[in-house]
Structure 1
Amino acid sequence: MARSTVILLVLSVFLIAARSAVIQDDLPTNYEYFTENGISSGLNADQKYFTLNGKNITIFSGAFHYFRVHPSQWRDRLRKMRAAGLNTIETYAAWNLHEYQSGVYDFGNGGSDFEAFLDIVQFIKIAQEEDLFVLVRPGPYICSEWEFGGLPSWLLRDKDIKVRTNDPLYLKYVARYWGQLLLLLEPLQFTKGGPIIALQVENEYGNTGNSDPDYLHSLVKIYRDNGIKELLYTSDPPGAGSRGALPNELLMTANFNSDVKGNLDKLDTLQANKPTMTMEFWSGWFDHVSEDHHTVSVDQYKQLYEQILTHPASVNIYMFVGSTNFGFLNGANSLYPGLNNSGLQPDVTSYDYDSPISESGEITDKFTATAELVSKYNPIKSKLPAIPETHERVTFDDIKIEQQILLSEIIDSFPNKIASENIVSMEQLPINNNSGQAFGYIVYRKTNLNLNANAVLKISGYVRDHVLVLVNGKLLTPVLSSKDDLNKFGYWRVKDSSITLTNEALEGATLDLVVENNARNNYGGLDQFQQFKGLIEDVLIDDVEIKSWEIVPLEFKKSWNKQLTGWHEVQQTRATPALYRVTFNVKAPLRDTYVNVQDWRKGIVIINGFILGRIFAVGPQQALYLPAGLLQEGQNEIIVFEHFSAPEYVKFSRDPIWGVGTHIN
C-alpha cells in the first residue's frame, strides 16, 4: 500500500471519529432529554406505550446487583452499561444483608461483613451520575439465586411465621425493614429529581402457585405509606397468568428466555392497553453444583433480544453485569417441598451468568450485540460515554503453604460453647442478638462417650447440608473423590444416613459433627421456604438417642477470621479438616485475579478476613474471582478451610476455570 494511501486512510478514520465526537457533543444526555423543561410526571403506563415526564420512552435496561460487585467497580460497570446504549439499570435489594440481625441494619458502614457493598443510596446516585434511570426491586423476596431468596434466616425463629403471605407477623417485619429502606429510596424518586422510575412489588409471586391479592395489596400499602409515588409493577413468567399480579392496579411484566411471541402475546392478553415489558430476558443462566457450566450463544441471545424489541416491548436484560455470590450468599433450588432436603441444588459462587459484561468486567460479544440493537431500535439519540478500559488481570506466583490449624484445634479452643440438651438448628441458636446463626458451619460436640466396637452413628432425617464426622479429632467421613459421593454418607441427598464410628471399643471419646450450610432454597412454592440448617432430628449411636450437646457456631465472620491464632507448621494434609494460611505482597496498581482451586476438594477461601467463596471439586467452578478491591497494597492473607485433603500450594489464575477438580473422577 502506498504511503499516501495510508495517510488518507488514517485521516479518514480521524475525521470519522472527530465527526462522531461532534455529533455526541450535540446530543443531549438521557436526563437532559427527559427533563429539559422540568419534571412534572414520572413513568406512566396508562396506554400501550410508556411515557416519562410526558415523553415517549422505550426502556432499555440491564440488571446489576450492587451487593454482588465490589463498590470500587460500580462506576466502571455502570458506565459500560450506558456505553452500550442502555438508558436504565435494574437492581434488587437484599433484605438478609441490609437487616443482618433482627432490628440491626446496614446500608453502608453498618458493621456487617458486607458493609462496603451495601450503600444502596450511593450506588443509585452513581447510576444517575452515569446518566441512567433505575428500576428497584426491593422484594421483600428477590429469588435471584441468592441465599433464601434474600429473606433473613432469623425470620424462621418464629415457628408459626408464614413468609411471603399476608401473615401479620411476617408483614410486621417487612414493614419494619421497608420503613428503613424506603426512607432512603423516597428522595431518589424521579419525580423528586432522582433516578428511580419504578419499583417492583414482590417477585415472581405467580411461581409460588399461590394467589394472594391481599398480600400484594399489603405490600403496595407499605410502599405508599412510605412516600413512594412512582409506578409499581409485578413480574412473572406469563404462564403464571395473573396469579402473582394485581392486573387492574399494577403493571404486569414478563420473565422468560424463549418463545418471545408466545410469551409477550400472552402478557398483552392478560393486560390490554398497557405497555409491554420483559422484566427479565435471561441473557444466560446460573450454575448448580456438579452441573456443567451454562452458556447461551450470542446468536441466540441476539435473535431473542431483537424479537423482544420488534414486538415492540421494553426490556430489562437479566443479567447484564456478571457478578459474584461472595461469602456464603449463593442460593439453591429445592426439588421437593417441606423439609425434604434430598433435592437440594446449591449454586456456585460465581454469578457470571454468561452476561454481556462478565464477572470480571470484560466486554463480551453479547455487549457488542446489545449496543448494535439498542442503537438500531431506540429512536431517541442521546450522548453516550466511551467504553471504559478493562484492566488486564494478573496472576501471582504459587505460594507454598507452611501454616495450618486443625479443625479439631479450632473446636477445642472455641470459647463459650453453647450447652443444649437437644439438637437444634442454626436458626434457633441464642446468638447474634437472639437472631440465630445465618451462615457457615455448626458443630455438635459430645464428650465422654463410651463407644462399643463397630458402634454406628445414625443421623435421622437429612443432613443440612454436609457433615464431617470426627472421633477424637480423626475424620471418618470419606474423602470426596467423585460426583457419586454426593449420593453417599455426609451429603444432603441421603435420608437416615449412618456411619461406623470405631472398629474397637473406646472410652471417654469425643464426637464432633461439623455441619455446613450449603445454601437455603431461594425459589418455588411457599412450602419450600420452611427450611432449617444444621441438624434438626435425632442423632443416635447404636439406636440410642444422644443428648446433652455442646454446640459451636463456626460463622467465619471477618473479625474472627482476622484474629485467628494458633497457627503452626503443616503436620497433616490427608483426610484432615484444617485451615491453611499463606501471605503474599501486592504492589500498586492493584489488579483483579482468580484463586485457582482445582487442587482442593471442599471448603471456603478467605481473603484478608472476607469470605471470597466456596470450593467444591465436583464443579463446575474451579477458580474464584478476586477483585482488586479486596486486595491491599503490601501484605495480603489467604486462609483456606479444607474439609478433606489439601495441596501444597495456593495458586492463582488469570481466567475463570470450569470443570471438575483434579482429584475428581
Structure 2
Amino acid sequence: MSLEVLPGLYEYYTGGGINSGLNADKPYFTLNDKNITIYSGALHYFRVPKPYWRDRLRKMRAAGLNAVETYVPWNLHEPLPGKFDFGQGGTDMEDFLDVAEFLNTAKEEDLLAIVRPGPYICSEWEFGGFPSWLLRKGDIKVRTSDTTYMKYVTRYFNMLLPILAALQFTSGGPIIAFQVENEYGSTEVPGKFTPDRVYLRQLVRLMKQNGITELLVSSDSPTMHRSAGTLPGVLLQTANFAGNPELEFFMLKLLQPGKPIMAMEFWTGWFDHWSEVHHTRDDDDFYDVYERILRYPASVNMYMFHGGYKFRPDTTSYDYNAPLTESGDYTIKYVMVKELLRKYNPVQTRVTPSTQTACTHILPYIAKSEWEGVLTGEGSTNLARSLPDAPHLIFKQAYEPQRVQWRLNLNEILENFSTKYLSPIVLPMEFLPINNMSGQSYGYIVYRKKYLDIPANSTLTIGGRICDSLVVLVNGKLVSKPLTNTSDLNDFGFWRLKDSNITLSSTGLTGATLDLLVENWGRNNFGLLEQFNQFKGLWQGPISLNNVEIRNWEISPLEFKKSWVGRLVRWRRPDSFTGPALYKTNFYVNQTRDTYLDMQDWCKGIVIVNNFVLGRYSKIGPQQSLYLPAPFLRIGWNNIVVFEHYIAADQIKFSNKMIYKTRNNKKRMY
C-alpha cells in the first residue's frame, strides 16, 4: 500500500459515515464496526500550559498512539460553589481549563480520546479532585450515594457533561469512552465498607441523562479488588498495574468472559513525595511489560505518557519518569514506545496536514544509534513513515542569575496586605468566612496572638496534629528549626507528631506577638473513605502556653492569588535573609524560553512568577528545581517572588536541566 492512499486515523474509522462508537460486545474492540486496539497515553490538560497542548499531543501521535486519556478536576472547574470555569471563568487557572479546546486539538492532531470525569480522579491531585468547600457540608460522605454529596455532584456533572457530550465520537468528536469514578474497588474494607453500587448507578444515570452515549468503563486492579468497584454488565472493567499483565488480564477474562481486554493504567513510572528519592522505572523493564501487553494482545493506556505539573505532600513536578518528561523532552521510553507500536499496530494511516512537521534532529542524549531511525522514520517501512515525525525539542535556557532586590517580612504582609478574622479558638482554613463563604482551599493560614506575656522557657503546645507544617515566630523572629533534612519531619512543626511542643524564649517577654504560620501541603488524594475528612491548619486541639489555653486569635489567610500578589507594595531593600518573608526580583528577557529555577540554595517555600504560583521547593528534595515554561514569561520585564519559610538565598539561579537530589545528597541533572 502506497503512503499517498493511506487514510488518516480519524478518517479511517469514520469513512463512509459514523454508525456506532466503541463497542465491547466481542472479545475485541470495534469502533464504527472496524476492529481497533487502543494505544493510548495519559496527558492531563490541566497540568500542561495551554500553548503546549498541541506540541505534547503531536508528540503522542508521532509515537504511534491513537488515543489520549485525561482526567477532569472538579476542584479547578468549580473552585467556588456554583462558580464554574471551563476556560473563560476568570480564575487563576483559567488558561489551563478549556477542556473542549484540548479535546478538539486532540482530534486535529488525529487522536481519539478517553475521558475520566470522576467526580473523584485520584491522580495525585489535591483532594483527589474534590473541591475543599465540600468539607463545610456537615458530615458529608464523599464517594457514596450520600444525598448531600450527590447534590453537588449532580450540579457539577450537569455543567460538565453537556460539554463532553458534544465531543463524543458518534457526534463527530474524538471521545470514544468515559470512565465512571476511579479505582472504586480500593475503597473496600471487609467488614467495614462495601463499595456503594447505588452511587455508581447514580453516576451512570447522570451521564446518560446528560447525553453520554459512548462506552462506559471502570478501572481497578482485578487481582486485588475483583469486581468490587464496578457494575458488571453495565461498565466494562479495565485493569491498573505496573507489571505481571498476564495475571491481571487472566482475572479480567474470568470476571467478564468474551469482553475486550484493556489496561487503563499501565504505570510507566511513579510520582515523588517530598523527602523521597526521585522515582524511576527501569527502561528495559518498561519495554518488556509494554511489549507483553501488546503481544497479548490487549488495549493499553500508559499512565503517564506525559506528566507535567501538580501545582499543589507530593512534589510540584509530576514528571512520573514518563516517555515524555515534565518539559516535553523525549526519553528512551518514548522511542521504545514508537518502536513497539510500529511492530504491533496493524493499522496504517497517513500523516494528516496538521501533524506534518519536519524533523531532522537526533536527540543529543539518546546515544543508541538503533533508535535514530525510529524517531525520524528514515529507512523504515511505510508504517513508520505514515506517522508524523517527532517534533523538535523545545530549547531550554539558563538565564543569568538575578539578585534579590526587595523583601517583605511576615509582619509587613500581615499588617498591610492581609484580611484578619477574629475567633476565640483556632479554626481550619476551610471554615474561614471568605470566598463567598466557601473557605480557603490552598496556601497558608496565620494564627496571631498579640499582647501575650511569655515567661522564660515557656512551652507552647499544639493540641492534636499540625495540618500540615508550622513555622513559629515571636515578635517577628523565627523560633522554629529550619527544615533541612528528612529527619526534621519527625520533630516539632510537622504532621507526624501529635500534641507537640516547643520552647518559645529563654528570657521572659511582655506584650509579645506570637505568629503561627501553617502551610497546607495538599489534601489526601487516595485511601480509605475516612481519610478524606481532611481539614487544614490548626484545629484538632487547643493551643496552650504552659498548659493554659490561648484564646482570641487573629486569623489571616494567605492564598497567594494573582490579584493579591499583584497588589503588594512597599517593598524595601533586603536587610535580612531570614524568613518567613517574601523576596522579589525583576528581570528582563529579550526572548522567552523554557527554563528551570535552581532552588538548591534556598530552604523551603513557594515560587511565584508574574503573579502565578509556580510551585513548591524544599531542600529535603528530591526535586531541587522548578520547571518554568516559556508561556509563563513575557518579552520585557518579568518578576519572581519567593516566599521563603526559613533562610533565603541572595539570588535566584536558573538551569537548563531538571535537578534532583539523590540518596547520597549529590545532585542529578536531566
For Structure 1 versus Structure 2, the TM-score category normalised by the shorter chain is: over 0.9
Question: What amino acid maps onto 1:611 in structure 2?
Answer: V
Instruction: Identify the match of residue 225 of structure 2 among 227, 240, 247.
Output: 240
Q: Deviations over 1:342-384 (max 9, x none)?
A: xxxx110000111111111111111111111111111111122
Task: Tell which deviates more after alignment, 382-391 or 312-321.
Answer: 382-391
Query: Does 1:608 find its partner at 2:583?
Result: no
Whether 1:553 and 2:538 are equivalent positions in the alignment is no
Shift of 1:23: 4.0
Matching of residues 375-454 of structure 1 within 5 Å: 375-383=342-350, 384-454=387-457
Structure-2 separation of matches of 1:470 and 1:159: 33
Residue 181 of structure 1 aligns with an amino acid whose one-letter code is L
Structure 2 counterpart of 1:59, which letter?
I
In structure 2, the residue matched to 1:626 is 628
Match for residue 383 of structure 2? none
Alignment gaps of 5+ in structure 1: 1-21, 330-345
Give the distance between the partners of 2:639 and 2:4, measured in 1 at CA.
47
Amino acid at match of 1:351: Y
CA distance in 2, matches of 1:352, 1:26: 38
TM-score with structure 1 length normalisation? 0.92
Are residues 415 and 349 of structure 1, via their aligned partners in 2, closer, same or farther at CA, if it must alter by over 3 Å? closer
Per the normalisation by structure 2, the TM-score is 0.92
- What percent of counterpart residues are identical? 55
Which stretches in structure 2 are left out of the alignment for 5+ residues? 189-193, 351-386
Q: Which residue of 1 aligns with 2:126?
A: 147
1:213 is aligned, of 197, 217, 223, to 197
1:457 equivalent in alignment to 2:460 = yes
Verify: 1:307 aligned to 2:292, yes or no: yes
Contact 1:597 1:661 in 2 (8 A): no
Deviations 1:512-563 (A, max 9, x none): 1100001111001111111110011211111111111111000000111112
Q: How does 1:571-586 map to 2 (within 5 A)?
A: 571-574=575-578, 576-586=579-589
Relative to structure 1, the CA distance from residue 499 to residue 662 in structure 2 (aligned partners, 3 Å threshold; closer, same or farther) is farther
5 Å matches for 1:584-663? 584-588=587-591, 590-659=592-661
Q: For residues 160 and 299 of structure 2, what CA distance do their matches in structure 1 show? A: 27
Give secondary structure in 2 for the equivalent of 1:556.
coil
Give the secondary structure class of the aligned counterpart of 2:467. Answer: coil
How far apart are 1:504 and its partner, in Å?
A: 2.1
Cα deviation, residue 237, structure 1: 1.0
1:16-415 equivalent positions in 2, closer than 5 A = 23-209=2-188, 210-238=194-222, 239-326=224-311, 329=312, 346-383=313-350, 384-415=387-418
**How far apart in 2 are the matches of 1:476 and 1:249?**
58
Asked whether the equivalents of residues 471 and 501 of structure 1 are also in contact (C-alpha less than 8 Å), the reply is yes
C-alpha offsets along residues 148-184 of structure 1, whole Å, 9 cap, x if unaligned? 1111100000121000001011011001001111121
SS in 1 for 2:661: coil
Corresponding letter in the other structure for 1:555: E
SS of 1:165's partner is coil
The one of 529, 532, 537 equivalent to 1:534 is: 537
**Structure 2 residue aligned with 1:484:** 487
- Alignment match of 2:498 (pick from 495, 498, 501): 495
Q: CA deviation at 1:113?
A: 0.6
SS state of the match for residue 188, structure 1? coil
One-letter identity of the residue aligned with 2:561: K
Question: Is the CA contact 1:600–1:661 (under 8 Å) kept in the aligned structure 2?
Answer: no
Per-residue CA shift, 1:266-311, capped at 9, x if unaligned? 1111111110000000001101111111111221111100111111
8 Å contact from structure 1 (residues 39, 191) kept in 2: yes
* Residues in 1 aligned to 2:393 and 2:414: alpha-carbon distance in whole angstroms: 44
Equivalence for 1:4: none
Tell me how far apart the structure 2 counterparts of residues 515 and 591 of structure 1 sit (CA, whole Å).
34
SS in 1 for 2:471: strand
How far has the Cα of 1:25 moved from its partner?
2.9
State the AA in 1 paired with 2:299: S
- Residue pair 2:277, 2:662 contacting (<8 A) in 1 also: no
Over 3 Å counting, the alpha-carbon distance change for 1:64 and 1:377 in structure 2 is: same
Contact 2:113/2:174, CA 8 A, preserved across alignment? yes
Give the residue type in structure 1 aligned to 2:82. G
Deviation per residue, 1:589-635 (Å, 9 max, x gap): x2100000111110001100001100111000001000011010100
Query: Bigger shift: 634-643 or 378-387?
Result: 378-387
1:663 is displaced (CA, Å) by 9.9
| 1:599–1:663 contact (8 Å) kept in structure 2 | no
Letter of the aligned partner of 1:392 in structure 2?
F
CA–CA separation in structure 1 for the residues paired with 2:324 and 2:111: 17
Residues 22 and 176 in structure 2, CA contact (< 8 A), matched pair in contact too: yes
Structure 1 residue 481: Cα displacement = 2.6
